[in-house]
Structure 1
């Protein structure tokens, strides 16, 4: 009998707690919309997703606009391997993103690329 009462109390308590959490979340969303925090958060997220420009990618890889795709791959391989051995993961990821950016640019221009 006692176990049944405890079980009923737990079920009822969890239901009450669940409803309270949902209400608090809705109120927080309303407050965020009223104060502009939600809009500011969305703007900050979109700033963080900034796409690398071709110019920035070329600077990272140390190449010019006239560089061929083979030159880009050689530079990429060299920088990527150097950063894998004695560099940082951050620099290695920037090198990789630069290659991806230029690869997309070359493909959109209709120039042939072979991914390595």
Structure 2
């Protein structure tokens, strides 16, 4: 009776495990095929909604960034003047720039300060978007 119980446990366990893997596979296929209705495939959020011919929508499509996103990146408000925006831009650009090479005769720092080319690019694009809106 003992070998029979062990075999029954193994069979039942393998059936449960098989069903679990089968359902996981089906769910994976569903997830792979699913695209949300608001997905825009590689574009920035908000760009797909810019479908009219207005100046703001044209600039949003051209720069692939909404004005709100640009203000969020630079930590500015819509009411801020262009000099304030440029001041924030310069600060963020400098913070995300690579450090200058060490001067001759001075040792390089053991741990260089962090910088991010990606963030620096986002800051530049945000400034360009705000300037384009101001010039429009």
TM-score (norm 1): 0.51
Kindly report which structure 2 residues correspond to 1:28-39, keeping only aligned pairs within 5 A, or say none.
none
| C-alpha distance in structure 2 between counterparts of 1:90 and 1:107, whole Å | 26
Partner of 1:103: 131
| C-alpha distance in structure 2 between counterparts of 1:92 and 1:104, whole Å | 18
**Partner residue of 2:65 out of 30, 33, 52:** 52
1:92 corresponds to 2:93:
no
Partner of 2:86: 73
How many aligned residue pairs are there? 65
| C-alpha distance in structure 2 between counterparts of 1:99 and 1:70, whole Å | 11
Partner of 1:64: 77
| C-alpha distance in structure 2 between counterparts of 1:44 and 1:91, whole Å | 21
TM-score (norm 2): 0.44
Partner of 1:28: none
Superposed displacement of residue 89, structure 1: 0.2
| C-alpha distance in structure 2 between counterparts of 1:87 and 1:53, whole Å | 25
RMSD between aligned residues: 2.0
Partner of 1:25: none
**Partner residue of 2:95 out of 82, 99, 107:** 82
Gaps of 5+ in 1: 1-42, 109-116
| C-alpha distance in structure 2 between counterparts of 1:64 and 1:44, whole Å | 29
Superposed displacement of residue 107, structure 1: 0.2
